Structure 1
Amino acid sequence: MKYLENSTLETLSSNLSIGAIDCILDVKLESYSCKMVQSDKKQWKAYGGSNESNNANSRQPLSPPDDFLCISPSPIGHSARMRHLSEAHSGSETDADDFVLLDSISKRTLFDLIGALNIAYPDYDFSDVKSSCFSLIPGIEVVMEAVDSKFFATVNNYTRIREELWHAIEDEIEPKDCRIYSFKPNYKDDPFSEDGCLWCLNFFFHNKGLKRLMLLSCRALSQNGAVPGVINVMIPTDRKDRRPESISDDVADLHLAKRPRHSEEFEAVMNYDGLAEQMSEGVTTGDCGYRYLEHPADVQVHAWGPDFAKALAQAVTAIYGYMTELDRVEEQFTMYYTAQANDLYGLVHAVMEEALCGFQSEPFFVGRRVVMDKLDLKNFTAEFQM
């Protein structure tokens, strides 16, 4: 299976995400070739597959669609229910599939759906997902109803994007010649059941003739929840409080972002109980620096540097600078810290938490200058001093 680049789909995904209203939308519109590459052949063998067509076309049970279609706010009528009868289907998966049970899927197609999920969400492992986590959707109209109902409510000016979205899907996968599947999370160890995920959509368009698979997936994430891509960092308000065992209500949402410039950028959005002042000043030293951006509701910080380590150091310094006057902080001693996590976002979280723990412990400590001694983005470890 191979990811197929499509600039139109990438632009649409970006525009839908940028237009999110009162939430964070993680939209994926991705197309894949169903032709096996060498790594797929090894995985197919481990999956229990073989080169024999009987094995690849063996049927696996699907779940009825009723539970999957609850994403649509309006009830789906009986005409959209799964018909547990044998009938012809233009998108049949094999030449012998002119008459098949609609509530089943071939082992090979299931393998492809799972493969697409693993590519789209590389931080998770869907290898053990069962066929019962999928359902066959009666037609593209049902998908359009479900998707439109969500995006009309959560995407600004979705009316302008809608026509382009469905035209792009039509051009890429020809939905009326597809079998369409929906994926229902198992609410355990997947990106759709994490804290902060408000709702999700997951549809697969499988076109046998094109030997292609398309994923339409969207997660609506809470702006304040603990979700991937948003790192919750302590912004203490009481110096007498000690460092808590877990994140409290006084948190900042730290958004990691790369900007199309020559240096790395790190964007921090600090929600400070709505009391943040509008500022535009900052500090620039050579090719490093940070600045506060004007914003009506919270404080936004941009930090940058020639590499990610220096950008992260500037982001930590910027948060210290927001809470105190760094020029008045005397450099009396140095504190050394280490941080470790399972991914990049977790590492940023850990660095910020360690850096700010001085506000929650005794003796009270304020860092004036941050130096990243070691930042391993492969093993997600960091050593730094202040």
Structure 2
Amino acid sequence: MKYLEYTPLDRINDFLSHVNLGERTIKGCLEAYSCKHTGTDKRLSLSLENEILDHLGKSLDTDSSSPVEYLCSRSSRKTMIYLLLTLHHMYPDYDFSAVKAHEFFTEESWDSVKQIFDDYMFEASKAWLEENEVPLLETLYKTLDEVVKLAECEIYSYNPEAEANPFLEKGSIWSYHFFFYNRKLKRVVYFNFGCLSNLVGDFGDESSFEEDDEIFEGMDM
């Protein structure tokens, strides 16, 4: 996977790097990648493919009546491997398991994703308009369309459990992770954005909570 540089993405990234809204902060990141293998991608891709096929074989042996559908299609396996390779490039210190990760990928419609943007980026959009004439979401949609042609894209969300989430930050209130994959262009745009509480530090560290627990021990609640 080769990182692709696009100036319009950089502009949005600069804004979303830290949008302070008082008690909360909105943060986001957009990155574009070519699906062409580079460096260790071929070896990693083969490893992920073997992991998936091995899991498929075991699943069919234990329950032949309900195979894991995504595993049975080579095209779907290839798509998921591209998404995993993107994650590996974004977070090289985290080991993404193909067998586990497939549970967290969900194909989304553009309408549902657009609704999430409308709902969760409303306040950030107001902050953007303080320095820009064209609305944030209009700029975002136009940029995505330039890079990956939205009408041709398959869109996937990634929603891991807390213990399998390499993106989780202290004070996280909510977060979303989307992949815009254009099969024809062999290109992926990864977009994550989330909201963090700015009040977390005001309550002290974890040790202070442990001390509070000791104080209340033995008391009738």
TM-score (norm 1): 0.43
Residue in 2 that maps onto 1:187: 162
Verify the 8 A CA contact 2:16 2:28 in the aligned structure 1. yes
| C-alpha separation in 1, matches of 2:2 and 2:68 | 24
* One-letter code aligned to 1:213: V
* One-letter code aligned to 1:135: T
Equivalent of residue 200 in structure 2, options 225, 229, 238: 225
Equivalent of residue 168 in structure 1, options 143, 146, 149: 143
Q: CA RMSD in A?
A: 3.1
Within 5 Å, give how 1:66-105 maps onto structure 2: none
Between Structure 1 and Structure 2, the one with more helix by share is 2
Residue in 2 that maps onto 1:44: 45
Between Structure 1 and Structure 2, the one with more strand by share is 1
Residue in 1 that maps onto 2:28: 27
| C-alpha separation in 2, matches of 1:130 and 1:19 | 30
Verify the 8 A CA contact 2:148 2:182 in the aligned structure 1. yes
Residues 60, 6 of structure 1: CA spacing in aligned structure 2 closer, same or farther, 3 A cutoff? farther
Residue in 1 that maps onto 2:91: 121
Q: Bigger radius of gyration, 1 or 2? A: 1
**CA shift for structure 1 position 49:** 4.6
Pair 1:133-2:104 in alignment? yes
**CA shift for structure 1 position 195:** 3.8
| C-alpha separation in 1, matches of 2:10 and 2:103 | 30
| C-alpha separation in 1, matches of 2:106 and 2:46 | 25
Structure with more contact order per residue of length (Cα contacts < 8 Å, sep ≥ 6): 2
Give structure 1 stretches of 5+ with no counterpart: 63-99, 227-231, 235-243, 250-386
| C-alpha separation in 1, matches of 2:75 and 2:174 | 26
Equivalent of residue 197 in structure 1, options 133, 152, 172: 172
Q: Deviations over 1:197-223 (max 9, x none)?
A: 110111111101101011111121222
| C-alpha separation in 2, matches of 1:28 and 1:194 | 14
Residues 42, 123 of structure 1: CA spacing in aligned structure 2 closer, same or farther, 3 A cutoff? closer
Pair 1:215-2:190 in alignment? yes
Q: Deviations over 1:258-280 (max 9, x none)?
A: xxxxxxxxxxxxxxxxxxxxxxx
Residue in 1 that maps onto 2:9: 9
**CA shift for structure 1 position 60:** 5.7
